[in-house]
Amino acid sequence: MIKLFFIFLLTVPTYISADFIKQIDGIKSNLSTMEIYVSSAAQQMQIYTDANADYAGVLADISGVNSESISTVSSSKSTGAIYASSAPQEQANNTKAFANYLELIARELDPNNQAINEASSNLSTSEIYASSALQQSAIRTLAGYRFLKIIVEASGGNQELINSIESTRTTTEIYSTSAYHQNANYSESTTKLLEEYSKVLGVDSEKISAIMSGMSRREIYTESALQQVALYEDTSSQLLYSILETLIKANTIQ
Amino acid sequence: MNKRFFKFFLIFTFIAGCAPKESSINGDVFLTMGDGSVKPVAGVEVYLFPLEVDLDSSFVDPLKLYINNAKFNISKAEVENVCKEANEIITNSLDQAQQWMVDGILPSSLELTCKTYSDKVLSLEDTIEASLKDADLKSESKRSELSEKQDELQKTKEAIYRLALNEGNVLKNAQMAKIEYSAYIPNKILASDASDYKRYVDVKVKVKNNSDYVIKRVNFVNALKLGTKVIDKDYSKDPYLVELYKYIDTDDGSNSYTGLFASTNDWNISERNLAKTNSYSETIPGLALGASYEKSLYSIKVILNFLTMNNRWLDENRINIPVINVGCKKDYSFDPACNPNQYVYVDLEFPDIKDIIFGEAVIKEIDPATKEVTHKSKTVDWVAKGRNTTKYKNSNLHSQLKNIQNQIDDLELDIKKITEEFDIDAVEIKREENQTLADACNEAIDIRDTEKEVQECLANMNNPDALVATINNSKTSFGYEIKEIFNSVTEDDLGYDNFEQILNAYGQSRNALRAISSIQGAYEFLEVPNGNYVLFTYYEDRFNGVGHWFEEIAVVENKKIDLNNLNYKKEGVYSYLRDKIEE
């Protein structure tokens, strides 16, 4: 009798954990490889926003967002990438995925927050009027920023600091004369929020300082709004990696 | 009094001495995480399985029995149905096996009968093989000659195709030579403060169709030239071209963001480019005879202050890089002044045409059902045109091919005659007859054994051991079907997500001792009879997957056993028990 049933026992699966560290290292290594080949700010924006969208996907997974919702965003991003024929179009596709992932996280952390629906509806309305990939990118980055703001607030971020980032963003908006400038403004605000988020989640303060001072140093040499966006997205990328690394370390058995 | 007290003392000592000794087991379940924080494992079931003898006989074997019984119970209803159905079908099957019956039953000696037929089949196969060998030997020279002729035939066919292809290419090249192709860079004037994104010039290509066909597509060589240097997608292999590329590639213009030589940036005038729409909004494909088409094919970077830029590589190579000036203007009075040579671009040779796809004259087609009109131009088949040439038609290759084919037919006939001398077909018929008998005989064995197994199955439906023994020993198709049913039962059917849950259920079924860890991860077993035990619990989360503690312990006194990183196994308990269960 026992002999017959051996085959059954073999079918019992072993639960396989999501290997988060492998995922974020994969994104980082892919980004490093791409960095070698890109030569323009437009291409830089494309690869950093791509990595940031992927990091946001992992963050959504870690935050407990259901895998079906994550897959929907991920497959929509992949499909969008196939049809994108220029760096701005790819960037717009990436910022869309980034905002979508952050919306999922915000809904997971603070499901009844009315601001989520407002940000989502604002984005849908603005999408109708966006006439270029760059404009699309700008409104999607703004939506991403708004969802991130909800996330940082729900995670116990310093409200005063969050308000000050929001106020700077609103003031700068008045002087933004092009989609390039809008992109730069929203990306900068997102980076600042990510800095606060990383502090809340206990990322090593020396590491945060190093990333942020690197950004300030390089900021002096940027000549265009496009270069600024690339710099902010690059910094956001580093912050997101540190946030994820810290979260994973705190939840992984020694 | 003393005597009574002594008796009582003896009885008490005896009872106390025989009573089983008990101890308490407690401890904490916790894990230290990567950042040094300690996480209590709260609310998990901790089991203490008694080991009366040893791990194998007291834990593993009953576990196997537990799982097997669970699976048997799930598949029992289905097995019963199959047995009943087989019982009904088997009567008809017995009728089919009449020829093998002796006194109305299928005898147990049927195997011997079947073997006689199988042996005969093998013997006839040997005969056929030997005859084929002999026939091959006798016809060896003919076959060798046949093989040579077949090679010759193939080569001649290839030569005929090549002739058509070459003649077709001659015709195509003549048409390509008639195409008028030019390329140029239109004059451009840039504002003195033009941003990086406006600093480029478009390279335009123009083709005029002077050929006798419609042009459906023009492909250009994806490469540029500077003197003897060819700049294409492999430019990164040459350090000089890598530097030069920085001064020609632009992020905007026709090759927007993809790079000049990106694999996705194919330089062509496509069929869509060339298609036109008539007054009825119908699409007319291709570039018509005598018509022209112009297109921006790619863009070249306009370099700011190229001649004055302070750069070591430029200083050393500038003299060898020809450049052309681009106009500069001030849009407003407050704009910066234009410098001489402020804007230039590198003067490169334009790309050549690589290929042209020609189409036949456009024809109009009307869908009889919808009356929809479509215009089509069939791509010119140059090989077919090559076949129409006099050179092709007059070639002696055609008669050569015919001769070779005749020779092959003769040789094949000769070989067939030699093979027929050995009468292989008659032996093959005998082999097939015996094979049919052997198959039918083996089927009769299957029917005979199935009938027996079906009866055993129905009789032992409530006796798992006997039924499984029957199925284990079965060699029939019926037994195979029952095995498939058992095999199809999965852990999902048992209602568990993982093996650890099965162990917990097993623990409950065996009345193993169970404790639930507190919110701080503490657990405790009180009054545990001394002896050997397995202490088991597991931990699972999305970061670490499933891991377990499985400690064989001897309880002889009160003991504190912590379950922590030191004794934690970072894998499912099944991976630990697999070898034992599969023994």
Of B468, B498, B547, the CB nearest to A13: B498
List chain B residues with CB under 8 Å of A83. none
**pLDDT at site B21:** 87
**pLDDT at site A16:** 43
pTM comes to 0.52
Residue whose token pair is 């790619």: B298
| pLDDT band at residue A42 using 50, 70 and 90 as cut-offs | confident
Chain B residue whose CA is closest to A61: B542
| Amino acid identity, position B167 | E
Q: Cα distance from A187 to chain B (closest Cα, Å)? A: 21
Q: Cα distance from A115 to chain B (closest Cα, Å)? A: 29
pLDDT tens for B214-242 read 999 999 998 999 988 999 888 889 999 99
| pLDDT band at residue B253 using 50, 70 and 90 as cut-offs | low
Q: Cα distance from B368 to chain A (closest Cα, Å)? A: 36
pLDDT tens for B500-547 read 888 888 888 777 899 999 999 999 999 999 999 999 898 988 888 888
Answer yes or no: do A5 and B502 touch at CB < 8 A. Answer: no
Answer yes or no: do B33 and A251 touch at CB < 8 A. Answer: yes
Distance CA B352, CA A230 (A): 37
| Amino acid identity, position B359 | G
Distance CA B66, CA B77 (A): 18
Does B71 lie at the interface with A, CB-CB under 8 angstroms? yes
Secondary element (H or E) of residue B366 = strand B363-366
Closest residue by Cα to residue B209 from B273, B268, B275, B290: B290
Of B71, B565, B571, the CB nearest to A8: B71
Residues 435-474, chain B: which have Cβ within 8 Å of A? 464-465, 468-469, 471-472
DSSP 3-state assignment of B183?
strand
Q: What is the domain partition of chain A in residue ranges?
A: 40-251
Residue B439 reports pLDDT greater than 60: yes
Residue with the bigger pLDDT between B482 and B551: it is B551
Closest residue by Cα to residue B145 from B407, B365, B451, B486: B407
Task: Find all residues with CB under 8 Å of B328, minimum gap 6, and list them.
Answer: B189, B190, B191, B192, B338, B339, B342, B343
For residue B263, the tally of other CB atoms under 10 A from its CB is 9
**Residue A188 exposed, middle or buried by CB count within 10 Å (0-12, 13-18, 19+):** buried
- Interface confidence (ipTM) of the complex: 0.76
Answer yes or no: do B498 and A12 touch at CB < 8 A. Answer: yes
Q: Cα distance from B214 to chain A (closest Cα, Å)? A: 30
Three-state secondary structure along B1-51? CHHHHHHHHHHHHHHHHHCCCEEEEEEEEEEEECCCCEEECCCCEEEEEEE
Residue with the bigger pLDDT between B583 and B278: it is B278
Q: Cα distance from A9 to chain B (closest Cα, Å)? A: 8
Secondary element (H or E) of residue B551 = strand B545-555
DSSP alpha helices (H): ranges in B310-396?
312-317, 382-387, 390-393
Closest residue by Cα to residue B351 from B245, B230, B466, B209: B230
**pLDDT at site A174:** 81
Do residues B546 and B553 make contact, with C-beta atoms less than 8 angstroms apart?
no
Answer yes or no: do A246 and B582 touch at CB < 8 A. Answer: no
pLDDT tens for B119-158 read 999 999 999 999 999 999 999 999 999 999 999 999 999 9
Of A7, A17, A42, the CB nearest to B251: A42
Do residues B60 and B580 make contact, with C-beta atoms less than 8 angstroms apart?
yes
Residue with the bigger pLDDT between A119 and B94: it is A119
Closest residue by Cα to residue A135 from A80, A182, A83: A182
pLDDT tens for A169-220 read 998 888 777 788 888 999 999 999 999 999 999 999 999 999 999 898 888 7
List chain A residues with CB under 8 Å of B483. 4
Chain B residue whose CA is closest to A22: B543
Residue B180 reports pLDDT greater than 80: yes
Cβ-based contacts under 8 A for chains A and B: 130
For residue B1, the tally of other CB atoms under 10 A from its CB is 5
Residue with the bigger pLDDT between B397 and B272: it is B397
| Amino acid identity, position B113 | T
| pLDDT band at residue A25 using 50, 70 and 90 as cut-offs | very high
pLDDT tens for B2-23 read 556 556 555 555 544 555 589 9
Rg, chain A, Cα only: 19
List chain B residues with CB under 8 Å of A5. 64, 67-68, 71, 486
Answer yes or no: do B34 and A249 touch at CB < 8 A. Answer: yes
**pLDDT at site B492:** 67
List chain B residues with CB under 8 Å of A246. 35
